[in-house]
Amino acid sequence: KRIKIENNNIIGSLSLKGGLIDDISFKNHKQNLENKKNVEFLNPAETKDGFYAETGWSSINNKIKVPNKDSVWTTVGNNILTENQPVTLEWNNGNGIIFKKVIELDNKFLFKITQQVQNNTSKSIDLYPYAQLTRNKIPDDIQNFYISHEGFIGVFDEELKEDDYDDIEEKKIIRDANEGWLGITDKFWVMALVPAQGENFKSTFLYNNAFKANYILNNPTTINPSSEGSNDIRLFVAAK
């Protein structure tokens, strides 16, 4: 099952399996003058050109059962995501902990994902928020033009870093920062993650059956018994 996404600039959907944002086209940019089809940027994991964003929580030593890419979320209330209507997804781990994602969209290209955890158990829990972009393969139309970088990109504590796909295939690159953003860019389009401001994070660019750009916060969110914790992630899916 999918949830429709649309505003003045983008159209697509998100998958309730995994809570993935994995289907986005640009309404005002066409593939060519003849066919007038929208430029397709994000595609589901099972397609050849799979390119998608996921968000979640990590638990040290898997002590807490957390949702993963195969978890099926349910919607609470509204089931179409537009600039005026956020959607709320919910997943219950069956052990007294309820996970929610509140996904908002502005009138351009920015998603805000608020991850919430309701701890209904009698113990405190520590969880680490993360987000990841996955791309199945190098785009067919990559140009490798020296003044226009295509591949991994990020700003870490005000320092711009650009890494090519073949560099990441050879070795993963890890960076720590207190502020910044990271993503994957094409000549005309970019998808980027922005961690919550002021949070120390570890970013990793790697290849493992697919290209991945991710970050995880270095400090946990501690959620006391009968309490709620949350974390914000911003996701740009944009024409440059």
- Say if CB 90 and CB 78 are below 8 A apart: no
- Say if CB 133 and CB 184 are below 8 A apart: yes
Average pLDDT of the chain is 94
pLDDT by residue (tens digit) across 5-35?
999 999 999 999 999 999 999 998 777 777 7
pLDDT by residue (tens digit) across 107-135?
999 999 999 999 999 999 999 999 999 99
Structure tokens belonging to residue 193:
């993650």
pLDDT by residue (tens digit) across 72-109?
999 999 999 999 899 999 999 999 999 999 999 999 99
- Say if CB 89 and CB 75 are below 8 A apart: yes
**Three-class DSSP category at 95:** coil
Q: Give the C-alpha separation, 187 to 196, whole Å.
A: 27
Residue type at 92 in one-letter notation: N
Answer whether 0.75 is exceeded by the pTM.
yes
For residue 110, give every residue at least 6 positions away whose Cβ sits within 8 Å of its Cβ, in sequence order, or none: 234, 235, 236, 238
